[in-house]
């Protein structure tokens, strides 16, 4: 998989002055567009669309400083419909407009080319299983929150703190399917997975029972799920698990992510310092 991702990087680099079709990139990677976006975001720490934009503005910045072509010619080459649109995007990345950068020879920001490599440490193993599940239903309390790539998500923290404890306890008694107990469910993420885009967040249970008043249901279709388990310091063990799934497990196994909710069940120790966690991700076998 990493070799294919590097082929995608080469394709992007050779087509920065052309329209880049993400579906075509997915074909180069021999995977789905959904999985390509998810893998890239996890490995690179930024959405694929953001990387392409930053690489274009990096190369465009060098051409602005070189001074061989007009700013409008450079803007059009890199996909901007007007000099104004180019100037806005240029200023967001570089902190200075293209005209001023050319006049003053200002220092600009560069997005380096990415190359993916697999580092084999060999000092740990990952506990996982792949299970086929029929349709099931999530019942719980729902909100809409922004996507945060690193650090705490304050919107989720505030939402969970504001939930009625007794209502959650009653809800937990309805759990009758794996993963048992209260779970955190993320669904309907923006395909770009850009920082600040929104997603549906549920605190709920997997159940066949009717939804109590004040709760929302999420119908989940049948399919395969990769289930990962981890125990260790909270929240570091869970954050490390997320990283390892996308940097080690997916590149080494014949599966790819598919659209669907991401489910996390966490059990904390009495003092909150240790966690037992189970992460459920929707997957499908790679073709070929």
Q: What is the pLDDT of residues 36-64, one digit of tens each?
A: 998 888 888 888 999 999 999 999 999 99
Which pLDDT does position 272 carry in this prediction? 82
140-166 pLDDT, tens digit each: 999 999 988 766 789 999 999 999 999
Per-residue confidence band for 21, with pLDDT thresholds at 50, 70 and 90: very high
Give the residue numbers spanning the domain of 214. Answer: 127-285
21 domain residue, yes or no: yes
- Say yes or no: 90 and 162 in one domain: no
Q: What CATH code is carried by the domain that includes residue 98?
A: 1.10.10.60
Domain end among 72, 104, 136: 104
User: Same structural domain for residues 141 and 274?
Assistant: yes
pLDDT > 90: percent of the chain = 70
Instruction: Compute the average pLDDT of residues 116-128.
Output: 64
Q: Are residues 166 and 269 in the same domain?
A: yes
How confident is the model at residue 288, as a pLDDT? 59
pTM of the model: 0.79
Q: Is residue 113 part of a domain?
A: no
User: Please, what is the average pLDDT of the chain?
Assistant: 90
Judge whether residue 124 has pLDDT over 60: no
DSSP bridge pairs for 284:
256
Last residue of a domain, one of 73, 104, 135: 104
Shared domain check, 178 and 86: no
Strand ranges (DSSP E) for the chain?
127-133, 136-146, 183-187, 198-206, 216-220, 223-233, 255-257, 262-268, 274-285
Write the pLDDT tens digit of every residue in 172-226: 999 999 999 999 999 998 877 778 899 999 999 999 999 999 999 999 999 999 9
The answer to whether 92 touches 85, Cβ cutoff 8 Å, is no
**Percentages helix, strand, coil for the chain, rounded to the nearest 5?**
40, 25, 40
Residue 90 pLDDT more than 50? yes
pLDDT digits (tens, 9 = 90+) for 253-266: 889 999 999 999 99
Q: Residue 123 has what pLDDT?
A: 46
- Domain count across the chain: 2
User: Does 209 fall in a domain?
Assistant: yes
Burial status of residue 29 (CB atoms within 10 A of its CB: 0-12, 13-18, 19 or more): buried
- Assess if residue 141 is contained within a domain: yes
Residue 227 has a pLDDT of: 95
User: Are 85 and 156 contained in the same domain?
Assistant: no
Does residue 246 sit in the same domain as residue 160?
yes
Spatial contact of 59 and 78, defined as CB atoms under 8 Å apart: yes
Predicted pLDDT of residue 122: 44
Asked if 78 and 136 sit in the same domain, the reply is no
Q: For residue range 227-253, what is the model confidence (pLDDT) as tens digits?
A: 999 988 887 888 788 878 887 888 878
What is the pLDDT confidence band of residue 100, given thresholds at 50, 70 and 90?
very high
pLDDT attached to residue 125? 57
- The CATH number of the domain holding residue 167 is 3.20.80.10
């Amino acid at each position: 998989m990493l070799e294919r991702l590097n082929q995608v990087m080469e394709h992007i680099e050779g087509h920065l002055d052309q329209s880049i079709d993400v579906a075509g990139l997915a074909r180069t990677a021999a995977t789905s567009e959904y999985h390509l976006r998810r893998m890239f975001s996890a490995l690179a720490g930024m959405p694929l669309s953001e990387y392409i934009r930053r690489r274009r503005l990096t190369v465009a910045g060098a051409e602005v400083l070189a001074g061989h072509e007009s700013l409008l010619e450079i803007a059009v080459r890199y996909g901007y419909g007007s000099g104004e649109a180019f100037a806005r995007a240029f200023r967001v990345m570089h902190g200075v407009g293209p005209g001023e950068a050319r006049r003053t020879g200002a220092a600009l920001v560069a997005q380096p080319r990415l190359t993916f490599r697999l580092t084999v440490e060999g000092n740990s193993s990952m506990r996982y299983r792949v299970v086929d599940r029929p349709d099931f239903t999530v019942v719980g309390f729902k909100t809409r929150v922004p996507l945060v790539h690193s650090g705490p998500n304050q919107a989720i923290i505030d939402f969970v703190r504001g939930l009625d404890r007794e209502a959650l306890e009653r809800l937990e008694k309805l759990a009758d399917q794996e993963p048992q107990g209260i779970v955190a469910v993320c669904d309907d993420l923006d395909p770009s997975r850009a920082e600040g885009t929104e997603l549906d967040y549920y605190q709920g249970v997997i159940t066949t029972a009717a939804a109590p008043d004040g709760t929302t249901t999420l119908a989940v279709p049948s399919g395969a799920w990769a289930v990962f388990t981890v125990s260790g310091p909270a929240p570091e063990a869970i954050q490390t698990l997320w990283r390892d799934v996308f940097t080690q497990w997916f590149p080494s196994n014949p599966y790819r992510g598919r659209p669907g909710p991401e489910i996390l069940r966490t059990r904390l120790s009495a003092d909150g310092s240790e966690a037992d966690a189970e992460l459920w991700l929707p997957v499908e076998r790679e073709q070929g």
